[in-house]
Homo-oligomer: A and B are copies of this chain.
């Protein structure tokens, strides 16, 4: 497919990444099995990933980026997620924060933070969701109040990816009433926020945390105009959904690969189980689901690269790919039989990981309402 045709340079990068993943990432995957990635390890491995474009790949070279397309960045994400989904998630969030500063940050913000984020000296997170808000960003209750020389920010954020290992948070807080009363601030941990991890079914390597803000920040930490906090966020959502879709594609592809290998080896009733029609049917369904998910996600990233509005397409990608990965992983478990539920084989872990991703960045149901609104021009919520 044309959009999968890579330049010679890109192919070299992907090869280098494959080698790096094999040597460096796969052992990490084994070492941190559903336990939080220690902060020092996270700093170290994110710095290494940065060299392959994982952190500021799509940022312009002028600000230290690699000028990669989002399509290319998506392919990198899939590869990392195949090997270690939780780490791919960690890198994706840090990358999104870094890019936001590169794109929307003031000169001073860029000078202060960009280099530190590019080399992963600081790890970032985006703090939007609140306990009683869900996906409805307009209800944010965290307040930013004017002080003499800046802002005082207080409130609680929940389900913050990367939260517990973060050094800096991009916080959406209320500076006025209603939808246009939200602004965005860069808050460092030492400015006054604390975090605690929320244990979850899988991917505990990738922190999901509660953040408590009682922080004072100087004026220059505001990102963009006052009252425009939400606007910046909504644009970012579109892109984020396509990347979450790619995380799921990575999981699905890993499960497909594992299932094929197992089905080729394992014998039952005198033949390899891959010779049984019901096994082949499952493999065929898995491959089709995975390819669908990848094509939708890449189309989404391609449209992001074109700079056109693509909320319908990226919601399709996110909604479909995350559900598809569960289905694919569940079939991989099934093909493995008893080995599939054993912790000694990798598929049960992928299965639990896949189950996570239909929730963040808008549940499947929210994606459908976005698609439905886009197609009909009518809202079925609010």
Contact = CB atoms under 8 A, between A and B. Distances in A.
A102 interface: no
B372 A283 contact: yes
Contacts of A260: 375-376
Contacts of A313: 291
A288 B287 CA distance: 17
Contacts of A2: 2-3, 302
Find the residue from A2, A280, A315, A373 having the highest chain B CB count within 10 A.
A280
B280 A372 contact: yes
Contacts of A291: 296, 299, 313, 316
A371 to B, nearest CB: 4
Contacts of A380: 274-277, 279-280
Nearest to A291: B316
A296 B320 CA distance: 15
Contacts of A377: 264
Nearest to A294: B295
Contact of A284 (B274, B277, B287, B372): B372
Q: 5 closest pairs, A vs B, by CB?
A: A280-B372, A284-B371, A284-B368, A2-B2, A274-B376
A260 B296 CA distance: 21
Contact of A367 (B284, B367, B378): B284
A322 to B, nearest CB: 12
A149 to B, nearest CB: 48
A84 to B, nearest CB: 24
Interface in A300-352: 302-303, 312-313, 315-316, 319-320
B320 A376 contact: no
Contacts of A319: 284, 288
Copies of this protein in the complex: 2
A9 B291 CA distance: 31
A309 to B, nearest CB: 15
A275 B379 contact: yes
Contacts of A283: 371-372, 375-376
Given A288-B320, A378-B264, A369 B277 contact: yes
Contacts of A285: 368
A379 B271 CA distance: 11
A263 B376 CA distance: 8
Interface in A253-301: 260, 263-264, 272, 274-277, 279-281, 283-285, 287-288, 291-292, 295-296, 299
A372 B263 CA distance: 11
Given A316-B287, A316-B288, A378-B264, A280 B369 contact: yes
Nearest to A323: B288
A373 B272 CA distance: 13
A3 to B, nearest CB: 5
A291 B280 CA distance: 25
A275 to B, nearest CB: 5
Contacts of A365: 281
A1 interface: yes
Contacts of A296: 288, 291-292, 295
11 contacts: A260-B375, A264-B378, A274-B378, A276-B380, A280-B368, A280-B369, A280-B376, A283-B371, A283-B375, A284-B316, A291-B296
A267 to B, nearest CB: 12
A81 to B, nearest CB: 20
Contacts of A302: 1-2
Nearest to A313: B291
